[in-house]
Amino acid sequence: MSKDQFLLATKNAKKRQELKRILQPFDLITRVEEEIGLELDDVEETGLTFEDNALLKARAACAQSGLPSIADDSGLEVDALGGAPGVFSARFAGQHGKDDLNNQKLLEELAGLPNEKRTARFVCAACCVYPDGRERLVGATCEGKIAFEQKGSGGFGYDSLFLPDEIEGPISNKPTMAQLDDLEKDKISHRGKALRLLAQKIGEKL
C-alpha cells in the first residue's frame, strides 16, 4: 500500500471521522486541512451527478494542496420522488447541511405512503485525484426504505430515517442506519463500500 499522504477533501467533521475510520485498516496516511496548515477553498458543487461533484472537490483540493486528495459525494435517492433529493441531498430543504430540516421535509414529502412505496438508496461516489493528473473513481449503493419517524442518534444526514435492506428482520423492529454501531454501519453503508473499493485501487500498481 502506498505511503503517500492523502488529503481528505471535506470540511464536514462527521464525514472526516467516518472517512478516517473506514480507511484506517488500509494503512493509508490521511490528513485533514488543519493538519497540513491549509484552509481549503469552498467548492461549489455544480455537478449533475455524484461523480461530478466528488471529482470537483478532489481536483480543487489536490490543486490547492499539492497532495493526492480523496473526496466523496453522497446522497439519498428516493424512488417515490423520482430519485430526489439526489445531488441536492445536503440542501433538500433549502439550506446546506441542515439535517433536521432535510429529514423533516423528506417525511412530509412521503406522508401517507405505505412501507412498500418508500424504497430508497444511499449513493456514494468516491475518488482520489493525484497531482500528476491520475484519477481513480468508484461508486457504491446501499438499498433500503425510508422510516416513518427518525430513530437513533448516530451518523448524520438521513441516517436516522434510513432502514437498510442488508439488516434482516421485520420492518417494525429494523434499526435505522443511525442506530447501528460504527462497525455495522461501515460494513453495509454506501460510503464504506465505495471507500474500500477506492483503497484497493489506490493500492494497485498505477
Catalytic residues: 73
- Residue bearing cell 435505522: 176
- Calpha distance 112→122 (Å, rounded): 22
For 88, list phi and psi in degrees, rounded to 5: -100, 15
Cell of 85: 433529493
User: Which residue type occupies 10?
Assistant: T
d(CA 88, CA 102): 10
Question: Number of helices and strands (H, E) in the chain?
Answer: 5, 6
> What CA–CA distance (Å, rounded) separates 115 from 135?
40
